[in-house]
Structure 1
Amino acid sequence: MVKLNDCKDVVLFGNIKMYRVLSVSVFVVFFMSTTFSADTSVKIVNGDNANIEDHPWQVSVQIRRTEKDNFTHICGGSIIDKSWVITAGHCNTYPELPVKNIRVAAGSSLLSQMKTIIPLKNFYKHKNFIFTNTEIKRDLMLLQLRRPLNFGSTINKIDLDTDIGKNYTGELCTISGWGNTVTRGENYPDRLQVVSMPVVTHEYCRTSWFGLGLKDMICLQEGKKDSCTNDSGGPMVCSKKLVGVLSGGVLFCDGNRPSVYSRVSAYLAWIKETMNKKNKKNKKNKREKKRNKNKKEKKNNKNNKN
């Protein structure tokens, strides 16, 4: 098997120069602001301006390296519940940031005019997440919001694809994000970008990536269209369902190789189990707080009477 860093036109998913991210790797992660794609003049790469009303599940995942820094867009994400967003696991790596340094912005086509900004309660990467030069597996992360979103025309959830056996080969699917929009250099748009591309066969995708372990992944490719840096974690939507979450692709975002997505249907059990477990815990904590509050009020009332 050829290692990714034996190839010169691809970058790995990572944190310093991913999607295209790690500058030392060939397969790129669309994640860092130094190597990804999206723009206002050149569109996602060769995509179009998008309206958030057509993609209300799309959010911007934003980070700050230290508490003194400003938050900046680093990845895309998809709303799957009022209190939950799904994105790529590699969007918080090298080094892993604390939850207070991550937030989600939603509700506008323009990054500069986001209407809703919510900090995280916590984040949960898949426990068997792997991201190396030779293997990418379970590249998913769930973001639990500190308070629920208010759904409307510009903020809403997307249904998850549940058909793990469906063959999407040849189907036209859409990807969206605020990543780099040029194949050489950097051009990051304020306006959300969108592009449609067909699904390619799994075997072709593996061969294109030198046999890179791509279990439970799904790939898109068409000509000079592509996703790019800072598009990582964003939605791949087919037939109005969230089918994939962007992991990475070729360094120059020129469509010479397929872009790669974690297939959501392969991880439904983990997604549902994580959300249900944390939601139940939150409800239990709320009940306990309410009971303690009632006890305290009764005690105070009793003392006042005395």
Structure 2
Amino acid sequence: MRVWFVTGASRGLGRAFTEAALDRGDRVVAAARDVGPLAELEARHPGALVRLPLDVSDRAAVRKGVDQAAAAFGRLDVVVNNAGGMLFGMLEEATEEQIRAHFDVNLFGAIWVTQAVAPYLRAQGSGHILQVTSMGAGGGMASVGLYAAGKSALDSVTQALAMELAPFGVKVTNLQMGGYDTGLFTLGTTATEPDPVYDGLRAELAAMWGEDAGPPPSNAAPVVMELVDLPEPPRRLIVGSRSYDLVQQMDEARTAEYRAWEHLSRKADG
């Protein structure tokens, strides 16, 4: 039996991971700004789920919350940094307030949780931190560049973290998620004030993305359950077939561009 600490647990991927962990007999401390939607799940799993109201952008609240989570079942085994949102709009349109609020949750919130849980995992000599990033963590795309930037930064920080915690028996994995029907583009979205000069590009993007909201988050849960059972899990895992193909295409395009301009790069040696 493992003890999970999941942020953003009220809906989407966080909710799916929470349900899957409970269904296999594990215990979960489920954190979210609004834990009301978890009441029914708590009733279905009495004694196995603890609801924890938490705003991950509040560093002091995170430290207090993690202490409560560790005390709830006596340990922490799997930590899922899932809380996040979408800032949708062109870079020029985004306000300072929107940008800072976005990074406070998507990047700094995950860092605050990670800093708070690390001492517990080190002390027990085990544990697994799962950072929910994105298939877009390797590069940006128009109108979602700030979202990708936060996920890319978290990806880089997590690679360093994996090296830092490995000597203590703690595992770390970036979950490079694809598009799931999580409500990210509805309930979880903050939109900029549209500038008409970008209307043409918006139309192109809308046509390219289409109307498909993606598969249900529950499709990803079995993969995560299998991942945490691996004795030597990967430090990065692309989640989803379409996501896997898109990441490979992006990597190939980047490599091709590097090679095309290799002659100019090498001139810098003098």
TM-score normalised over the length of structure 2: 0.26
Tell me which protein shows more helix as a share of its residues: 2
Tell me which protein shows more strand as a share of its residues: 1
More RCO (CA 8 Å, sep 6+):
1
TM-score normalised over the length of structure 1: 0.24
